[in-house]
Amino acid sequence: MAVGFNRTAVLLLFMAAASWQCSSAATYTVGDALGWTVPPIPTAYSGWASDKTFVVGDILVFNFVNERHDVTEVTKGSYNSCNGSNPISVETKSPARITLLSGGDHHFMCSFLSHCNDGQKLSITVRATSSSAPSPSPSLTAGLTTPPPSIATPPSDNIPSTLSPTTAPPPPSTATSLRTSTFSASILAVVVALLY
């Protein structure tokens, strides 16, 4: 009986650990309320990413005006020269959800006109694993002289309102609450298993 109980407890602990690892992905809305647009300052997206730790499995959500922007993943050389002619991938519909599937450097830009040269580009480093949950960051737009557009209003590029995204953007990040609830459920399952 004790051997069966120990196997069950070990199995449940393994399942709880696997559940915790699977649920630890975070969702980031690139640029927060600014969205994915030509930024008011060229370093806006590097500033946005500077206090974040990205790990494999995390999701980047790019909110932009369809037919006025895109999300083009490129090599470092193409990123540095703002050349989107040989992309790794291109997303043209907003909101674009990109799951980070590999560690290392990832480079994103808008391939429209001079948008990349004007600062609509993002370079991040993705870690293979996470040792802790990402912490919330201060707003990207803090300190800017013009107020950011509201979540309900698409980023403005002096475009008719008929070109707005077709779906509402997701909340900035639900990853922390998902981690907490999944972890709590896993711990509860282990405790129940050990009691019975």
181 is a domain residue? yes
Handedness of CA 75, 119, 115, 61 (dihedral sign): positive
Q: What is the pTM of this model?
A: 0.60
1 is a domain residue? no
Q: At residue 107, does pLDDT exceed 50?
A: yes
4 is a domain residue? no
Q: Cα(181)–Cα(23) distance, rounded to whole angstroms? A: 10
184 is a domain residue? yes
Confidence of residue 86 (pLDDT cuts 50, 70, 90): very high
CATH number at residue 123: 2.60.40.420
The tens digit of pLDDT for each residue in 11-46 reads: 444 454 444 444 568 999 999 999 999 999 999 999
Q: How many structural domains compose the chain?
A: 1
Confidence of residue 162 (pLDDT cuts 50, 70, 90): very low
Q: At residue 49, does pLDDT exceed 80?
A: yes
2 is a domain residue? no
112 is a domain residue? yes
**Domain enclosing residue 95, as ranges:** 24-195
pLDDT at 72: 98
